[in-house]
Amino acid sequence: MALFERTGTEIAGMIRAGEVTAREVCEDALARMDTVNPAINAVVARDDDAARAAADAVDQARAAGQPLGLMAGVPVTTKENVDQAGFPTTNGLRVQKDQMAQTDNPVVANLKNAGAVIIGRTNTPAFSLRWFTRNSLRGHTLNPHNPAITPGGSSGGAGSATAAGIGTMGHGTDIGGSIRYPAYACGLQGLRPTLGRVAARNASGPDRHIGPQLMAVSGPHARSVADVAMTLEVMSTRSVEDPWHMAMPLRGLEYDKCAALCVRPEGLDTHPLVEAALRDAAASLIDAGWRIDEVESPPFRAPARLQAQLWMAEMERGAKKAVAAEADPDASHVLAEMYKLTAPPDLNGLLDALQARLGFAREWETFLARYPLLICPVSGEPPFPDLLDLEDFPRCMEAQLTQVGLPLMGLPGMSVFTGFGEGEAGHTPLGAQLIAGRYREDILLDAAAAIEARGPAVQVVTPG
């Protein structure tokens, strides 16, 4: 097995045991990027000398008998919408191509402090606004499994890179599915943590408005559940840069292995391939000793509507002007379609949305006290044909109901890989979404590990 095919936990163990050096791992990762990235355009910025220096520091620390961080020598990527010192935080925008970060976002600092070797920065759509990944600055990212389907978005570069073996973990952000959906589309394990679990802040720009503060999080894409767990532990390190951060235990109290299965939340027109993936995941959990009840989920539609209103409130405060200034055709189209579906709220509408959020959070927590785990679609459809939102935006929004609805409550969700199928655009990965209560990522990881152990393993894919 080539080094680039190994998981991050394997790489970290091999480096600690002296079976391989961090420099050798780094060179292998850079070579893999040279080989496959031209076909998928997942990594859009890199500093090979800095990566080599970080790897050499790990080797020097080991040779000196110094303690090594949890991810020492593990190659990873970061998304181009978080600050990393020495790189511009473009967020996929030409108008931000020179917005150079002077300091690291806490999520990046935590990776570095744990010894991870950052080998590149991954692509995102303009404004990180879509479930597809193309912009006028960095170009179009493709799915290494099948270029006819989306790699997801907005962390499509992270998902595509990780699936193709460019690093063992791809950092992503999620305000409306931007971790969960690329993991789904690229056949990975991807975790959206609880609001406050992972500290984040971009000092290169102003603080965000209340909607994103309540809903946006950073988290990992990886090819194994163990790698997701390892990276979450590292990302969760405390930072005073983020007042929302809570230093909560990574493992909570004992829980009943009782899960709810909802195939068609609130009438979602779930595709037969998606339903089969959900039932495969449920069957794996039954085999692992879980009890599964098929029930209706708590609300997604009203939270999704309120989530969209909070998005549009921020758009009215200045993002609409920024979209016009950027003049990215895709972003302009998506914003126009969003205005057709959701009117920006007035002050009373904004206050009503924030008030209603509390009630929905209470309803979800009450449900998850009875059922510690919910299994539901990541999307109502298999991964979309690429750029479908430019042809049929309402179809995409409807299929993504569970992506958009969940963040309003600040809950964690995980996309878990279940296998492959033949969708509208051909060969496609499939998966299921797992949801648990606040700060109960341990339940998600336990369930995902049980599904992973009973299903096909995630394999590195070579484009073409």
For the CA atoms of 172, 175, 180, 185, what is the dihedral angle to 10 degrees? -80
- Spatial contact of 122 and 78, defined as CB atoms under 8 Å apart: yes
178 is catalytic: yes
What is the DSSP secondary-structure string of 229-260? Answer: HHHHHHHT---TT-TT-----SS-S----EEE
Cα gap 407→405, rounded to integer Å: 6
For 312-345, give one letter per residue: b (16+ CB within 10 A) or e: bbbbbeebeebbeebebebbeebbebbeeebebb
- Burial-class residue 252 by CB neighbours within 10 Å (0-12, 13-18, 19+): middle
Helix (H) or strand (E) holding 222: strand 217-222
Q: Which two three-digit tokens encode residue 201? A: 């802040």
224 is catalytic: no
In 99-141, which residue ranges form alpha helices assigned H by DSSP?
Answer: 106-113
One-letter amino acid for residue 348 of the chain: N
Largest pairwise CA distance in the chain: 62
154 is catalytic: yes
Of the listed 112, 128, 154, 160, which one is catalytic? 154
Cα gap 432→190, rounded to integer Å: 11
Of the listed 128, 155, 160, 178, which one is catalytic? 178
Cα separations in angstroms, 254 against 167, 288, 437, 440, 446: 34, 16, 13, 11, 12
DSSP conformational letter for 407? G
Kindly give the pairing relationship between strand 373-376 and strand 258-261.
Answer: parallel
Cα gap 344→210, rounded to integer Å: 15
Of the listed 79, 128, 160, 224, which one is catalytic? 79
The dihedral built from the CA positions of residue 217, 220, 225 and 231, taken in this order, carries a sign that is negative
Taking alpha carbons only, the member of 249, 234, 219, 29 closest to residue 114 is: 234
Question: In 3-state terms, what secondary structure has residue 362?
Answer: helix
Cα separations in angstroms, 105 against 124, 171, 232, 430: 17, 12, 16, 32
Just list the catalytic residues: 79, 154, 178
